[in-house]
A = this chain, B = another copy of it.
Amino acid sequence: MYSKEIRELLEKKGVEVGNKVKVTKNEETYEGILMPRIEMGDPNSLIIKLENGYNIGLEFDDMVKIKKLGEGPKLGIVPELRVKREKKLPDVSMIATGGTIGTHVDYKTGGVYMCRSPEQILSTAPEIGTIIDLKNTFRPFTLASEDLTYNEWKKMARLIANELNSGCHGVIVTHGTDILHYSAAAMSFMLRNLTKPVAFVGAQRSPDRGSFDGSMNLICASHFTGYSDVGEVCLVMHGSSNDDHCLVHRGTRVRKFHTSRRDAFQSVNEKPLMKVWKNGKMEKVGVKYEKFDDRKVEVDDKWEPKVALIKAAPNSDPSIINWYIDKKYKGLVLEGFGLGHVPTSTLKKEDSWLPMIKKAIEEGISVVMTSQTIFGRVHPYVYRNLRMVSELGTIYAEDMLTEVTLVKLSWVLGHTKEKEKVKEMMLTSYAHEITPRTPLDSTVKTIE
């Protein structure tokens, strides 16, 4: 709610949130829609959505004058994108799954609803109609990303494959940002023989905010899916906190690093594949990727749901593993420290994870080690403590992200439970999720 002072002026002038207004402060005049107070924003700043789509905040004081010009857009009805196709553009289909990018704010109540159809989402970026031809749009479900499970991933994979196999150049998936990277990883494994671009797109700010990032992400994703020569699952999200370019991150090499920044996503252990600008310019950085080809993609959505993640911590009780054994789990990802450590002291046997890891493996559970450092590569041999964990049969996940390892382990265990085969598949790079180990000698050839 706006401050008492603002509310009094609005009442006096008969202006309501949502009206078209003219606001004057000092010498400057602004025309636009009076927006509700921005969440957590200054209650004493008037927010006006200008015709060009930008929001502006005006600090309120005695000098501010406001006048109602009209009722404003009809509330509760979200505009839809309707584009007259003038020439044939690349066909791209879009799947809307929910999340902030698909929210709709009711200016009257300030409430946020997760209800937008793909056409409504696209209305925030009408120029998309001049970049691609939207072949088909889907809304298979509408969920905040944190509520997605592998059941949604299976639906998603089949929809994407259907579209790509019926002639689309690419597919855009709009999605909440919280587990955007988990979903992109899942699609990277489920879509086999993929040779077309699939772009996951989200928004960190809601469409009622001037800082809404979804429009540019969608525009860049349209360029990417319509025109790039990439044949992989990628994330297309802001590359800086400015509205100037997006980064295309490989779906298996990226995670969310900030709760609220628009450039929250960052590639790990690898550069992003390219930068994309709103005008369609794409700048590659030299990372090798699968090339575009018009081939049939296949869905391989075999999945073992009994897979869990355990993040180790000092003082953590390893007997938590018993719970997973009792529940008949098939796979455990241990997010350890540094090169892949968990407490293993032979001096302090009561705290050691070794007996519990041994027991899990004897019960047929696949145990995979990653690192909470996020960056870098786990290694099973550098220290004695690592060797002890490794010798029990723990699979060290090279330089894979924990999130990707978790998704991959479910997918691998959907195919086989055979110990050696699980290890072989976990250490095979199916979607560029592992960088081959590079010899360290390049760092010792010169005097350091």
* A448 at the binding interface (Cβ < 8 Å): yes
* A445 at the binding interface (Cβ < 8 Å): yes
Contact A259 B316 (CB under 8 A): no
* A297 at the binding interface (Cβ < 8 Å): no
Among B317, B374, B384, contact of A327 (Cβ-Cβ < 8 Å): B317
- Interface range on chain A: under 10, 10 to 19, 20 to 34, or 35 or more? 35 or more
* A341 at the binding interface (Cβ < 8 Å): yes
Number of copies of this chain that the complex holds:
2
Q: Which residue of B lies closest to A256 (CB)?
A: B373
With a CB–CB cut-off of 8 A, which chain B residues contact A347? 143, 147
* A174 at the binding interface (Cβ < 8 Å): no
Contact B39 A382 (CB under 8 A): yes
* A72 at the binding interface (Cβ < 8 Å): no
A139 to B38, CA, bound (A): 56
Among B150, B340, B444, contact of A55 (Cβ-Cβ < 8 Å): B444
* A56 at the binding interface (Cβ < 8 Å): yes
Contact B259 A377 (CB under 8 A): yes
* A364 at the binding interface (Cβ < 8 Å): no
Contact A57 B182 (CB under 8 A): no
* A261 at the binding interface (Cβ < 8 Å): yes
Contact B335 A440 (CB under 8 A): no
Q: Which residue of B lies closest to A382 (CB)?
A: B39
Closest Cβ of chain B to A109, distance in Å, is 13
With a CB–CB cut-off of 8 A, which chain B residues contact A47? 444
Chain A window 359-389, contacts with chain B (Cβ cutoff 8 Å), 1 for yes, 0 for no: 0000000000001111111110011110000
With a CB–CB cut-off of 8 A, which chain B residues contact A311? 309-311, 335
Closest Cβ of chain B to A199, distance in Å, is 20
Chain A window 331-356, contacts with chain B (Cβ cutoff 8 Å), 1 for yes, 0 for no: 00001111111111101100100000
Contact B373 A445 (CB under 8 A): no
Among B112, B256, B372, B382, contact of A338 (Cβ-Cβ < 8 Å): B256
* A78 at the binding interface (Cβ < 8 Å): no
Q: Which residue of B lies closest to A146 (CB)?
A: B341
Among B178, B313, B317, contact of A406 (Cβ-Cβ < 8 Å): B313
Give the top 7 A-B pairs by smallest Cβ distance, nearest first: A259-B376, A42-B441, A57-B444, A147-B345, A178-B337, A178-B338, A146-B341
